[in-house]
Structure 1
Amino acid sequence: MAVDYETIISTGLSSLSRAATAWEDMGKRFGNLHDDYRDHVKAAVEADGWRGESATTFKSQAQVTLEEYAGARDEAKAVGALLKEAYGTLNSRRDKVIEARDQAVEAGMTVNPYSGRCTADLARMDEDKAEVYRRNQLARQELEESWTKKIADAVKDVQDADENFRMALMSDPSDGDKGLLDGFNGALKSDAGEANAARAEELYDKIRRGEKLSGAEREELDLLMRENKSDQEFSRTLITSLGGPDGVIRTHNELTDRAYFEETGRKKHYLNMDRHLADVIATATRVEGKGREREEDQRFYDKWMKDLREAGLKEYDAEIVDQVGSDQRMRGYQSIVTLMQNGSGYSEQFLHDIADDVRAAEDPKQGGDPDIWDLDRGFAGTKGEDGTFARDRDSWFANDPYDGVLGIMSKTPDVATAYFDPDTAAGKDRLEYLQKERDWDLVNTSEYRKVEVSGPDKADADSHVGFGAALEAAMTGQVPGEGPKDPAAGTAGAQTDEEKEKTERDLRKRIRVFEEVVDSYAKISAVDKSAIPENIRHNMANAVACYPNDVHDIIGKDGYFSGGLSTEPNGVGVDRAAMLQFIRGVSEDGGAYRTIHDSQMQIVANEIHGLGREDFEKGSPKAQGVAQVSGQTMGALDHIRADVLGSHRDDAISQNNWSKVYAYHTIGAPVTAIPVFGDTLQRLVDIGTGHVAEDLNNEISDKTTEDLIKHYSTKGYPRLEEMMVERAVQTGIPRSELGPADSAFQRVITADARQEYSAAIHDAQGSTGTGS
């Protein structure tokens, strides 16, 4: 029976510590008895020259006795070590239960001493808060349940640990034929993880042999894996006993076969087992510590990676690749990366090494085969309007293991940044290979005439998805899909000089990757505007939106003042022409363009919002600067819009799709880390990003880029002037005073804005490569 809340709270664990010491002392005493028997009894008799049948019988029995002493010694020491480990773990988790109880009491709860259930004590709460809970019984119930759950979760952690140690103490590893048949067992492990790994391996092996686990066995395996996933001894013992990488791959394949094809009703159970297997790989492959411990970690890691390089190239049976009777087989790397997608916590060394090893298997320059991953169909999920792929159908399978590893890397941005850091030769080479050299066409095709003949390979629909995610993570320092944040966030909050230096180094790395990606893809886009792969355009736009002020400096201030300004706040070293060529390539996707456009309109709105009444009345240098830079920014972006739509004027489907995905982006949705506070600022943002901006995509049929530039010069520019007018009115200036031609507003501010907008919408032509 599992220990309950009352028992956990009321029971001290000091006796467990004393028991551990007593068992260790017992082990020492058995050790002394073993040595005395070996040196003074068994050895003395053997040295006496005793011969005959009785001597033979004695020697045989003496050896058994000696082995029993050794078994008793080792078993006692192992029990002592397990009890000591149990004391540390259970004591720590018991403290968490007490902490949760104390927090609940402090929050105004009465905690039942027997069950741990919480009841709100309104008399001990602030009167205003108490009144809320008196009136709202549902809110009170939710509050009580949340605290009850917190305590129950802490109790469950104690129960799981208690059961884990019980299984370790009850485990019965084989001691060979040493000692008596039912005697002491010196094979008992002194580490709970190592002791329980054998049982976990037994249950996984049962699955691999085609057998089914009972409900009790599934629960047992789940507990073993949850409790020990962070234990290196458990993890390494388990994956070694499964047969190393080859055995792990075969086990994973069996689990996915059952989950997706054979026993779909138990899909959740099998995928849970698969996830646990991925987690122990993450733990087992970490190289940590110092001295001898690190050397042992490195030896294990080197052996694992050596075996994985062999297993990664082998072919394996799996139903996912053989659904149409084509008798296809998958490669080991495709399987192991599929497995890894279900886990987390992999080390930088492991992710970098496996990515480079996968590349070596396919890269002709390294003796690889570019067709090694090719299969007869694709495995992409359904692509949504936002450009992301749903994880459905067969999309769980990593038919492209390199792209798959990069996708895993994107979940740990620092790892992705280090992988592509252009300050290293390896980082530059990896990016160049993936951009320019790699064969991304992994789907075999066939043409049917009188006979079936092979057609050209093609890319899977989700090609480059992992690559794009990894680049976004590397450039921004955040996991793709998370809300935008300042890439420099954390610098000011670091508490020590060492932490500040590390944060700054990490930021500089991200900026280096951003600069390299922008410059390299700008060169490619200058030659072929559609060269940036479709599935990474959203990622690239998100990265640009992560540096809104810097990009504003580049395409706005640098456009007006020229000379390559040092951007604020991050000092991004990209010139205006390269940035605009990059944005042009990304803008083949309307949604990606809108992410960039709206992020810049937010900066423009912030700049305009910072102007006061006097700035508008006198046409101050500050107002002039805002007008000029805003004009440059909006003009350049409208030129890009015109160039994209003009380039596709003969392709109605493409043009309609661009407008559709442009409109998909929710108006007012946050696209930068800069918050929008207050209705006055929101109004300015809405003018720049709302329906007027959307309408610029309409009524453009059969217009060339030059026609569209003229169109936007009359339809697009007024957004900027209206933002200026709106802000001036907000400062208290009557709208009637802004209209006269001799006003500072018209002579200076709007004149400068119009001039810079017009200059940018025309001279951005060369920057986007459209003037060639």
Structure 2
Amino acid sequence: MVTFRQVMDTDLSKLTDAAQAWDDMADKIEKLETTYQTKVQKISSGLSWTGISANSAFNLAVQTRHDFDAAQVEARAVADLLRDAHGQFVRLVAAVKDAVKEAEKAGMKVDGDGRCTYDYSKVTEQEAFSLHHDPDLPETERSWTRRIEQAVKAVDDADYGVKLALRESVKDTDGKGDPKGFNGAAQGDVEVYEGRRATELGEKLVDGKLSPAELKEMQILMRNNADSKPFTQTFLGGLGPEEAIRLGDKLTRLSYNRDGSVNTEYLSVEQGLAHSVATATTVPGSINERPPGSPEFNAWLNSPDGRFYREWTEGIRKVGTKNFGSGTEPRYGYQAYVSMLDNYDKFDDQYLYSLGDDIIKAEKKEKGSLWTQWGFGGFGFRNDPLDAVLGLMGKNPDAATAFLDPGGKGPLKNDHLAYLLEDRDWPQLANVGYATTRVSDDPLGKMGLGAALEAAATGYVPGTDHPLGQHTEAQARVLHQAVASLNNAGGAEKLDFALRRPMANILMDYTPDVHQTLARDNTVYRAHDGVWVDNGVTKVSIPEDQLVKIMRGIANDPEAYADMYNAEAHYVADTFSSMPEKVSENTRVPIQEASSALGMYDGVRADVLFDDRDKKIQWERDFNNRLTGVTSLAPKFVPKTYVLPVEIAYRIIRTESHDLMWERIKEAGMEASLENAKQFTAGQKEVDSMVASWARTHGHAEDSNYTKDLIGIGQTKHAEGRNQALIHLRADY
């Protein structure tokens, strides 16, 4: 094993010196070959010598001539391998030395074995005393030591690969010349030899013949090379798609025990295999620059650089619906393949698009769900490959947007989103009993769809912090189509569990557009049903009834609904903060719009509480706990017209939030009736509170005629908004 001392002391220039020596040897062998050709082989091939001896001499000369050729190939390959090794070691040794410098800069002293301890000589006596009593210092020292050890380990991994390549390059594998002669098929790329070895080990693993030492070797190969195209394409090309699926499925089974605990040795190899596929299937450019099916993409696909991608994807298509399991517990190719891919998250956007599209085509061809789960597939097994691919797209927003945008240009135009939300038979779980089979929905179904939807409509990976309110036309089209399809399929008000939080996050991202729809007075929004651009800002209008039904579906998750309400309240506060003091339409309209919007929210809340009477108090408590816990956290809206002054927001929003909480809980306790639905006025009181707070910032008392006049402006609009929401949701209202 390479040590820290060796890394720091080795003179790497000797590698390039040795490479030059091997090239010089190849040149000398070339001269000898010329001499042999003219002085020896020429005689054996002449017409003056015939008979058995002549034939024997001729064949021997041909073999010897081949050995001269092979010796040159082998020598030059070794030279290239040494230069490749030099390039790798220079980079990796530099990383070790950089880690040492950073440790020293952090106050560490690094000894000759790479062990870090704090250097007290650089601090005062008082500082040294404090550090000696710092309970976290030992772990800090160990963390720096570990970082250096990891950098040294990377050198050791590379050293293993170079030794493997040098050893394999001098084996005579071309099948010509002397059986123990020179290798005329030698390669000058270390990663090619590592890829071939990984193929051998992968095949042994599938057959159950991999030893513990070979498993460790495979871990090294994956760890050191999974981001190398020569390695990954050699490795996967050697396996082929079908054997790669078998390998992935075997690793999925071996990586998890029956109790769900993890076998890290096998899991690391499975992660390396997934990483290898990601590297090997990388396409130049982005999906917008070179979309699948475009002339530019097809030209690359038919080039030498695109050959592996073309052959690999064609092979996966052929075995994607092949059953690798049994008749009673099927495991189809796409299921096993995507289960393995799920162990990595940085795939090329073009590849994810193509893979998802291929799975949809396979589903449509089969006409029915291929992926019904019969029994427990095992930990790590993804029963629904399409949903798993969508989950990977959730980590690649560009891929998700392109895949779900119904208005894509040229080859990107598709109906994927409508298919997913309206037409697809989502896989179910089949539990086989003694005499009956019970089929149920997968409780984790559509988790990937939710992640992809959120990434596609917002342009950000779910869970990442980002400003709200600015989108591309493609992103806005995804939202518009999602709302339309969910309503078309009758799933808006009973929104799937996996879609509630994603749809809430999306609508929060589009709060300015949602506000204008719920305000019910913007003729531009009411005239549009779709996406348009106004002064460089993308806007989207959603039919009011469809939006309210989606809000009702989201409201089955009280915390998600509270976050939407919070975003709306902060947006309202933003509009209030820019109102002029003099009463005019510029003050009246924002108040009326806020009243209508929050009236809509109250209408949805009333419907939830009347539908779920047994749990309504708990729902209201969950809603309020979430709301009062986040009201001081202002969402960040863009463009600049949406940016909220935080100190004004805090004063406007926070003033009576706790009083309103008890008002809402009181409303939740009312008997469910149409008459009582009209008593849901907490939203209006929220607006009144905001108006009063705004008025105070301009020097007007709460009981002044000025303030009373403003408060009275929106009360009718709140009732209209609340009632209209209930009309959309209740046939009996």
1:551 has 2:547 as partner? no
User: Counterparts in 2 of 1:176-255, with a 5 A limit?
Assistant: 176-214=174-212, 216-242=213-239, 244-255=240-251
Shift of 1:268: 1.6
Distance 1:625 1:122, change over 3 A: farther
Match of 1:503 in 2: none
Match of 2:292 in 1: none
Q: Tell me how far apart the structure 2 counterparts of residues 754 and 561 of structure 1 sit (CA, whole Å).
A: 24
1:571 has 2:538 as partner? yes
Aligned letter for 1:330?
Answer: R
Q: Tell me how far apart the structure 2 counterparts of residues 636 and 237 of structure 1 sit (CA, whole Å).
A: 60
1:2 has 2:10 as partner? no
User: Counterparts in 2 of 1:308-387, with a 5 A limit?
Assistant: 308-317=316-325, 327-363=328-364, 367-377=365-375
Distance 1:625 1:145, change over 3 A: farther
Q: Tell me how far apart the structure 2 counterparts of residues 303 and 414 of structure 1 sit (CA, whole Å).
A: 25
Q: Residues 601 and 689 of structure 1 are in contact (CA less than 8 Å); yes or no, is this contact kept in structure 2?
A: no
1:744 has 2:711 as partner? no
Shift of 1:238: 1.2
SS at 2:462 equivalent? coil
1:643 has 2:629 as partner? no
Aligned letter for 1:329?
Answer: P
Tell which deviates more after alignment, 699-708 or 129-138: 129-138
Match of 1:491 in 2: none
User: Counterparts in 2 of 1:34-183, with a 5 A limit?
Assistant: 34=33, 36-38=35-37, 40-105=39-104, 107=105, 109=107, 111-112=109-110, 114-118=112-116, 120=118, 134=131, 137-138=134-135, 141=138, 144-171=141-168, 175-183=173-181
1:401 has 2:402 as partner? no
Shift of 1:191: 1.1
Q: Tell me how far apart the structure 2 counterparts of residues 182 and 103 of structure 1 sit (CA, whole Å).
A: 50
Unaligned runs of 5+ in 2: 286-295, 638-642
User: Counterparts in 2 of 1:446-595, with a 5 A limit?
Assistant: 452=435, 457-486=439-468, 488=470, 507-522=472-487, 524=489, 529-556=492-519, 558=521, 570-575=537-542, 577=544, 578-595=546-563
Distance 1:22 1:355, change over 3 A: same
1:429 has 2:429 as partner? no
Q: Residues 352 and 419 of structure 1 are in contact (CA less than 8 Å); yes or no, is this contact kept in structure 2?
A: yes
Q: Tell me how far apart the structure 1 counterparts of residues 154 and 32 of structure 2 sit (CA, whole Å).
A: 40
Shift of 1:481: 2.9
Match of 2:288 in 1: none
Q: Residues 255 and 270 of structure 1 are in contact (CA less than 8 Å); yes or no, is this contact kept in structure 2?
A: yes
Q: Residues 226 and 272 of structure 2 are in contact (CA less than 8 Å); yes or no, is this contact kept in structure 1?
A: yes
Shift of 1:250: 1.1
SS at 1:137 equivalent? coil
Q: Tell me how far apart the structure 1 counterparts of residues 433 and 659 of structure 2 sit (CA, whole Å).
A: 47
Q: Tell me how far apart the structure 2 counterparts of residues 620 and 143 of structure 1 sit (CA, whole Å).
A: 63
Q: Tell me how far apart the structure 2 counterparts of residues 91 and 745 of structure 1 sit (CA, whole Å).
A: 73
Match of 1:603 in 2: 571
Shift of 1:698: 5.8
Superimposed CA distance per residue, residues 679-707 of structure 1 (whole angstroms, 9 cap, x where no aligned partner): 77446444676573476256546844633
Match of 1:494 in 2: none
Superimposed CA distance per residue, residues 591-634 of structure 1 (whole angstroms, 9 cap, x where no aligned partner): 332221122123234444567xx93xx65765544433322221
Match of 2:640 in 1: none
Shift of 1:53: 4.5
SS at 1:717 equivalent? helix
Distance 1:360 1:94, change over 3 A: same
Give the TM-score normalised by structure 2.
0.85
Match of 1:305 in 2: 313
Q: Tell me how far apart the structure 1 counterparts of residues 713 and 523 of structure 2 sit (CA, whole Å).
A: 11
Shift of 1:507: 3.0
Q: Residues 595 and 671 of structure 1 are in contact (CA less than 8 Å); yes or no, is this contact kept in structure 2?
A: no
User: Counterparts in 2 of 1:9-28, with a 5 A limit?
Assistant: 9-28=8-27
SS at 1:481 equivalent? coil
Aligned letter for 2:311?
Answer: K
RMSD, aligned α-carbons: 3.8
Q: Tell me how far apart the structure 2 counterparts of residues 25 and 694 of structure 1 sit (CA, whole Å).
A: 89
Shift of 1:193: 1.1
User: Counterparts in 2 of 1:667-678, with a 5 A limit?
Assistant: 667-669=628-630, 672-673=635-636
Q: Residues 684 and 727 of structure 1 are in contact (CA less than 8 Å); yes or no, is this contact kept in structure 2?
A: yes
Distance 1:754 1:128, change over 3 A: farther
Give the TM-score normalised by structure 1.
0.81
Q: Tell me how far apart the structure 2 counterparts of residues 287 and 704 of structure 1 sit (CA, whole Å).
A: 59
SS at 1:571 equivalent? strand
Distance 1:683 1:509, change over 3 A: same
SS at 1:443 equivalent? strand
Shift of 1:194: 0.8
Shift of 1:210: 1.5
Q: Residues 287 and 297 of structure 1 are in contact (CA less than 8 Å); yes or no, is this contact kept in structure 2?
A: no
Aligned letter for 2:424?
Answer: R
Q: Percent identity?
A: 27
Superimposed CA distance per residue, residues 339-396 of structure 1 (whole angstroms, 9 cap, x where no aligned partner): 1111232222221122111111211xxx3231322233477xxxxxxxxxxxxxx463
Distance 1:360 1:510, change over 3 A: same
Aligned letter for 1:275?
Answer: Q
SS at 1:313 equivalent? coil
Shift of 1:49: 4.8
1:722 has 2:692 as partner? no
Q: Tell me how far apart the structure 2 counterparts of residues 353 and 104 of structure 1 sit (CA, whole Å).
A: 45
Distance 1:397 1:264, change over 3 A: closer
Shift of 1:90: 1.7
Distance 1:264 1:533, change over 3 A: closer
Aligned letter for 1:518?
Answer: V
Shift of 1:769: 7.5
Shift of 1:662: 3.9
Distance 1:9 1:303, change over 3 A: same
Q: Tell me how far apart the structure 2 counterparts of residues 664 and 60 of structure 1 sit (CA, whole Å).
A: 91
1:411 has 2:408 as partner? no
Q: Residues 590 and 662 of structure 1 are in contact (CA less than 8 Å); yes or no, is this contact kept in structure 2?
A: yes
Shift of 1:283: 1.4
Q: Residues 341 and 408 of structure 1 are in contact (CA less than 8 Å); yes or no, is this contact kept in structure 2?
A: yes
Match of 2:591 in 1: 627
Distance 1:395 1:265, change over 3 A: closer
Q: Residues 576 and 767 of structure 1 are in contact (CA less than 8 Å); yes or no, is this contact kept in structure 2?
A: no
Q: Residues 79 and 169 of structure 1 are in contact (CA less than 8 Å); yes or no, is this contact kept in structure 2?
A: yes
Superimposed CA distance per residue, residues 715-770 of structure 1 (whole angstroms, 9 cap, x where no aligned partner): 4432332344345556766xxx3225xx20112x2112323322322234455586
Aligned letter for 1:584?
Answer: R
Q: Residues 493 and 550 of structure 2 are in contact (CA less than 8 Å); yes or no, is this contact kept in structure 1?
A: no
Q: Tell me how far apart the structure 2 counterparts of residues 562 and 181 of structure 1 sit (CA, whole Å).
A: 81
Q: Residues 286 and 297 of structure 1 are in contact (CA less than 8 Å); yes or no, is this contact kept in structure 2?
A: no
Distance 1:59 1:115, change over 3 A: same
SS at 2:629 equivalent? coil
